[in-house]
């Protein structure tokens, strides 16, 4: 799905531009779930925006869904395949009702009207917003707005959805709603890139990529990151409760593959 080879990205900082990321190599296969993390301002957002053509790498080669993003014409085409759910729930509703919001993406694709309307209702049902199809957007909760944003990605039939800290401004219920929705899509075959700062969400992901100091510091499984790498400690992360219990078990001689990563794993130990 994504083939990034030695890419560099520059970002805006006040008036001048500076290089935020350098020499990034990452391959993401179709159907994978990858969690991406890194401190605020480390260039996560610049990187993922380059995956759907909103940013252009200043160096290296980037191909997404088989499209070479060095070519300007592909930067529009890639949006058919890769969609983003942004962090701020308020800043991504373009339509004044959920119905119109989902319609916006379909209108851009030039779908014919009858099919479009049927598809909108299908999607609203999929994201659990059928009962709010014609509600004013300003009356939706943060969680509902994020579900709507996921719906907009579905409208474009995205093969990959990037969640850019999409749950960070939500309450626990909204958060688990979006996570469940994303997991459902993943199990149905959608590639997911899940950007997060939350340790539990990281630990639950099958593959983790860590950005820092302008480069990719880690790309691998959660167990090796939390139980054998010194990176979390070097980055000053506070391990999640499950990992702290796991570290104790590790000291008591448990093999790596039995160590817990999530609260769920922890409960299953007893």
Partner 1 sequence: MRIRTEHLFFCYEGGRPAVQDISLDIPTGTLTVLCGVNGSGKSTLLRLLADLAQPSSGQILYDHGKKTDYKTAEAVSMVFQQPETQLFAGTVHKDIEYGLMERGVSKEKRTEIIAGALAKTGLAYDEFAGRSPFLLSGGEKRRVCIAGALAVQPGLLILDEPTAGLDPQAAQALLEMVQQLRSSGLTLIIGTHDLDSFLPVADKVIVMKQGAIHYNGPAPALTADPGLLADAGLTPPVYASMGRRAVQHGLLEAVPDNLEELLIGLEKHPLPMPQTDRWPAGTGASARSSAMSPGNQNTKTSEQHSAEYSLKGTWKRDHSPRSSRTERVQTIIRPGNPRLEQNTPRRPGWQGLDPRAKWLGMILGSLVLLGMNTLLPLLLTAGLLAGLAASARISWRRAFRFFRPFLLMFLFLWLLSGLSWSSPDFALGPLSLSYAGLVRGGINVLRFLLLIALGFLFTETTTGAPLREGLEWGIAPLRTLGIRTRNWSLAVSVTLQFVPWILGKLAQLQLALGSRGRRARGVARWSPRQIALIIVPLLILVLGMGDELATAVESRGYDPAKQRTPVYQLRWSRRDTLAALGILAVAAMLWWVARIS
Instruction: Name residues contacting partner 1, limited to 7-66 (CB under 8 A).
Output: 14, 25-27, 29, 31-33, 39-41, 49, 52, 54
Site string for partner 1, 75-104 (x = CB under 8 A): -x--xx--xx-x-x-xxxxxxxx-xx--xx
Return the number of the residue (10 or 148) whose C-beta is nearest partner 1. 148
**244 lines the binding site for partner 1 (CB under 8 A):** yes
Which of 117, 122, 159, 250 is the binder for partner 1 (CB under 8 A)?
A: 117
Which of 10, 111, 146, 233 is the binder for partner 1 (CB under 8 A)?
A: 111
- Minimal distance, residue 81 CB to partner 1, in Å: 11
Footprint of partner 1 on 149-188 (CB under 8 A): 152, 156, 168-169, 171-174, 176, 180-181, 183-184, 186-187
Footprint of partner 1 on 126-155 (CB under 8 A): 126, 128, 130-131, 133-134, 136-138, 141, 152
Q: State the sign of the Cα–Cα–Cα–Cα dihedral 198, 32, 164, 95.
A: negative
Assign residue 43 a region (left: φ > 0; alpha: ψ between -120 and 50; beta: otherwise). Answer: left
- Minimal distance, residue 116 CB to partner 1, in Å: 6
| Angle at alpha carbon of residue 241, lines to 235 and 247, rounded to 5° | 75
When computed from its CA atoms, the radius of gyration of the chain, rounded to whole angstroms, is 19
| C-beta contacts of 183-189 below 8 A and 24+ residues apart | 185/150, 185/154, 185/161, 186/31, 186/33, 189/30, 189/31
Distance CA 246, CA 248 (A): 5
91 by Cβ neighbours in 10 Å (0-12 / 13-18 / 19+) ranks as exposed
Return the number of the residue (11 or 54) whose C-beta is nearest partner 1. 54
Q: What is the DSSP letter of 1?
A: -
- Minimal distance, residue 72 CB to partner 1, in Å: 12
């Amino acid at each position: 799905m994504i083939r990034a080879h030695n890419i560099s990205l520059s970002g805006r900082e006040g008036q001048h531009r500076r290089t935020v990321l350098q020499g990034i190599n990452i391959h993401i296969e179709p159907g994978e779930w990858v969690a991406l993390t890194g401190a605020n301002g480390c260039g996560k957002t610049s990187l993922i925006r380059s995956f759907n053509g909103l940013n252009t790498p200043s160096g290296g080669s980037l191909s997404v869904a088989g499209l070479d993003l060095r070519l300007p014409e592909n930067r529009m085409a890639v949006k058919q395949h890769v969609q983003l759910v942004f962090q701020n729930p308020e800043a991504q509703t373009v339509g004044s009702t959920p119905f119109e919001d989902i319609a916006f993406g379909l209108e851009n694709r030039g779908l014919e009207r009858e099919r479009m309307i049927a598809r909108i209702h299908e999607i609203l049902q999929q994201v659990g917003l059928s009962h709010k199809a014609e509600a004013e957007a300003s009356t939706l909760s943060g969680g509902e707005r994020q579900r709507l944003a996921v719906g907009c990605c579905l409208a474009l039939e995205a093969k990959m959805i990037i969640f850019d800290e999409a749950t960070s401004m939500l309450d626990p219920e909204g958060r688990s709603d979006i996570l469940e929705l994303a997991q459902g899509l993943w199990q149905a075959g959608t590639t997911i890139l899940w950007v997060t700062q939350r340790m539990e969400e990281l630990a639950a992901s099958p593959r983790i990529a860590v950005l820092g100091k302008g480069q990719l510091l880690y790309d691998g499984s959660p167990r090796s990151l939390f139980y054998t790498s010194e990176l979390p400690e070097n980055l000053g992360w506070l391990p999640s409760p499950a990992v702290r219990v796991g570290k104790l078990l590790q000291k008591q001689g448990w093999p790596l593959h039995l160590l817990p990563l999530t609260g769920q794993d922890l409960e299953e130990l007893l």
